[in-house]
Structure 1
């Protein structure tokens, strides 16, 4: 399922590895999982570091800056 969040990730160097799961192409240590279209979980080295409900694209950009 493509939406503005997933399109943004793909345009910025993230690869969809499973349905609604994205991996950072550079390091392959960071993964973002969409549990719903707006609820995300961010894992670094398989450890959950962020859970957030995204209201807009700016929320996603904030999360990416924290990684």
Structure 2
């Protein structure tokens, strides 16, 4: 299966800086990333990210500005 195939299933992943991405479910999630429990086609996963990731700065930068 290819990531360009419209039938490819993805999972939404997040890293320790709370940055989101999508990853094909047929591949192991890379080190430093974990799943958030959302899977679907590319469009569905990207829609979830757009709704969830409202501040795209890394967590360390958000935390530094809050201090």
**Structure with greater contact order relative to length (CA < 8 Å, sep ≥ 6):** 2
Judge same fold: TM > 0.5, yes or no.
no
Higher strand share: 1
Question: Normalising to structure 1: TM-score of the pair?
Answer: 0.31
Question: Normalising to structure 2: TM-score of the pair?
Answer: 0.31
